[in-house]
Copies of this chain bind each other. A is one copy, B any other.
């Protein structure tokens, strides 16, 4: 118990914190009739306008799954589909003003909900924790540009 490997201890902590964070995100999403995935999509679209297939790949979902997901959010006016002029097969996804407003509200609620937890560290430790987390994080896949050659 006291003999735990530093790597094991870190994985335990990361997994526990992941479940805790997901619990908060899931609850807040549900309070706005959103699924966790929809909340995540809104967050992604805040500063990106990907095509369906790239978004699906980024989320690790099948294209067909994303179709339904986008359908439901589009019906609620949170995001929209748009034709891609360069390739008529492609459908781009973008956030609407309503979606952006909701996302800002969700973002605020998440920060408030986590404040009691993050507030248990002082300013310096918070910064230190964020810094130590950085190298562990996978860089977010770049969804935006589209290099003409490889793909």
Contacts and interface: CB of A to CB of B under 8 A. Distances in A.
Interface residues of A, number: 47
A85 interface: no
A69 interface: no
Nearest to A117: B136
Contacts of A22: 18, 22
Interface in A14-35: 14-23, 25-27
A46 interface: no
Contacts of A20: 137-138
Q: Please name the 8 residue pairs, one residue from A and one from B, whose CB atoms are nearest each other, closest first.
A: A18-B21, A13-B133, A18-B18, A129-B132, A120-B135, A6-B126, A9-B130, A10-B130
